[in-house]
Amino acid sequence: MTSLPDLKAHILSLTRDYARQAHASHRPAADPARTPWPEGSPIPYAGRVFTEDEVEAAVSSTLDFWLTLGAEGEAFQKELAAFLGVRACLAVNSGSSANLLALSALTSPLLSSERRLRPGDEVITCAAGFPTTVTPILQNGCIPVFLDNDPVTGNLRVDQLEQAYVPGRTKAVMAAHALGNPFDLAAVLAFCRRHQLWLIEDNCDALGCSYTMPRSVAESLGFKDNSPGLDAGPDHVIRWTGTWGDLSTQSFYPPHHLTMGEGGAVNIVNSALLRRIVESFRDWGRDCWCPSGKDDTCGKRYDWQLGELPKGYDHKYIYSHFGYNLKPLDPQAAIGRVQLRRLPEFIEARKRNWLRLRRGLEPLSHLLEFCLPTHATGFDPATGAFEWDDSGCSTDCSWFGFLLLVKPEAPFTSSDLGRHLASVGVGTRMLFGGNLLKQPAFVQLRSERPEALRLVEAEMPGADLVMERAIFLGTFPGLTEAMIDQEVSLIRQFVANLV
């Protein structure tokens, strides 16, 4: 009779053979074992990139059949935290759930009364982006205060921050690094420090992006050390995005920098208290911190007295928050661990793909305006080098997508371009929800409860411009050079037929 270890090894060997044959088209673009892309076939804007390693990890974990978050999840959380250089990462079932948990954590009664968010408190965000960066603010009874967007970077306009601030009411800033382009962290952090505000970085589109500050600026904001694996020299501090704020969030949905199918994470940058709070909200709101399947790690399971419960009530069933159950599954975490090992190569592939698109579309710069990294003032297509402003800050983008704006003088719109590319099999996306204030849910909210949100200015021209003229192509590591060149050729042909 075959032993269980040998039987499992045989199953996993067959699994690898199957995956090599069935999923060869999903391998990284640079992998020589990848199925060649048939010229003229569809080009998605994003997708899963994996090999037999991820499939084996998922099947191995499933055969063990623990299922709920366990050993693989614990390892994944520690490995992601080590990569970023943060205190802790807590895996969740989606990036949207991560945003909900991060904002909800700031409502905890365990925080000081001065900084705790309560219904009616205000959280600064921006108008254009993905809705679940904003909806957690509303779901917790707080008021989102909308800044406009800079259409060239896609990010919030930091020059409007002080205008948005209301003493005693403004408690936090929650904003995304748009399409892997870090927002102006130096300005946002200085604003938050000045007014003792929380900062939540929505890092869902930006895992593997970095931001550099002059050391004097960084140290004045409380940062002395670089992130693991990064070095900007003695005069600067460089850190991954998602490590500058108090909390940050990740998404591991298939288009993102790594995938678990569904999934996400909350990154706790420094605070042990915030770690405890986020974990409580994620795990039903319970006070107990024992992982699933373990008991009495505090050593006093039956010795607590909290609330009005009798002394000795089982700590596993004491609840200090109105929480959720937002954990992913252990097989997902097993996949994530393999993906995390690929992250450095995925980051570099996204940079290369953005640069190839930018160079290929340069001849259309009279009709198309291209995104620039935050703090960049110009770009040299020949060298691939950026010119930087005089702040001393710079960004290194692991691009989620290649954003472009159709200029008003162009004989076509962004929708025309998107419609044409879809007809020839090229995937594109708008900048998610565009100006969210124009979305049906927000229009209805403003009509029924105008006090539920606030605009720093009556009009949002930057967000409207992004909504009306922006479109983005993919940069994911499954794109080959031939696929990118085909995209460029199709866009050039489309324009040539109209000009």
Same domain, 298 and 354: no
Same domain, 291 and 359: no
Sign of torsion over alpha carbons 23, 25, 29, 32: positive
List pLDDT tens digits, range 76-131: 999 999 999 999 999 999 999 999 999 999 999 999 999 999 999 999 999 999 99
List pLDDT tens digits, range 415-463: 999 999 999 999 999 999 999 999 999 999 999 999 999 999 999 999 9
Q: Which of 302, 317, 332 is the last residue of a domain?
A: 317
Same domain, 225 and 362: no
CA distance 99 to 65: 29
**Which pLDDT belongs to residue 1?**
84
- Split into its structural domains, the chain has a count of 2
List pLDDT tens digits, range 363-418: 999 999 999 999 999 999 999 999 999 999 999 999 999 999 999 999 999 999 99
CATH number at residue 361: 3.90.1150.10
Q: Which position has the token pair 């995937």?
A: 427
- Residue 353 parent element (H or E): helix 330-361
Asked whether residue 35 is domain-assigned, the answer is no
CATH number at residue 205: 3.40.640.10
Categorize the per-residue pLDDT at 214 as very low, low, confident or very high, splitting at 50, 70 and 90: very high
DSSP for 134-173? THHHHHTT-EEEEEPB-TTT-SB-GGGHHHH--TTTEEEE
Asked whether residue 31 is domain-assigned, the answer is no
In percent, how much of the chain has pLDDT > 70?
100
Same domain, 306 and 351: no
Same domain, 263 and 116: yes
Is residue 75 over pLDDT 80?
A: yes
Asked whether residue 324 is domain-assigned, the answer is no
Same domain, 309 and 349: no
Asked whether residue 156 is domain-assigned, the answer is yes
| Token digits of residue 290 | 């024992």
CA distance 372 to 365: 13
Same domain, 294 and 373: no
| Token digits of residue 25 | 């088209």
**Which pLDDT belongs to residue 492?**
98
Asked whether residue 333 is domain-assigned, the answer is no
Do the beta carbons of residue 333 and residue 75 sit within 8 Å? yes
Asked whether residue 25 is domain-assigned, the answer is no
Is residue 499 over pLDDT 90?
A: no
Q: For the chain, what is the radius of gyration of the CA atoms?
A: 24
Same domain, 281 and 355: no
Asked whether residue 1 is domain-assigned, the answer is no
pTM summary value = 0.97
Same domain, 300 and 416: no
Domain extent at residue 168:
71-317
**Which pLDDT belongs to residue 293?**
79
Do the beta carbons of residue 240 and residue 209 sit within 8 Å? yes
In terms of Cα–Cα distance, which of 196, 235, 201 is closest to 219?
Answer: 235
Asked whether residue 29 is domain-assigned, the answer is no
**Which pLDDT belongs to residue 337?**
98
- Catalytic residue IDs: 256
Same domain, 109 and 256: yes
**Which pLDDT belongs to residue 121?**
98
Same domain, 212 and 297: yes
**Which pLDDT belongs to residue 483?**
98
List pLDDT tens digits, range 164-198: 999 999 999 999 999 999 999 999 999 999 999 99
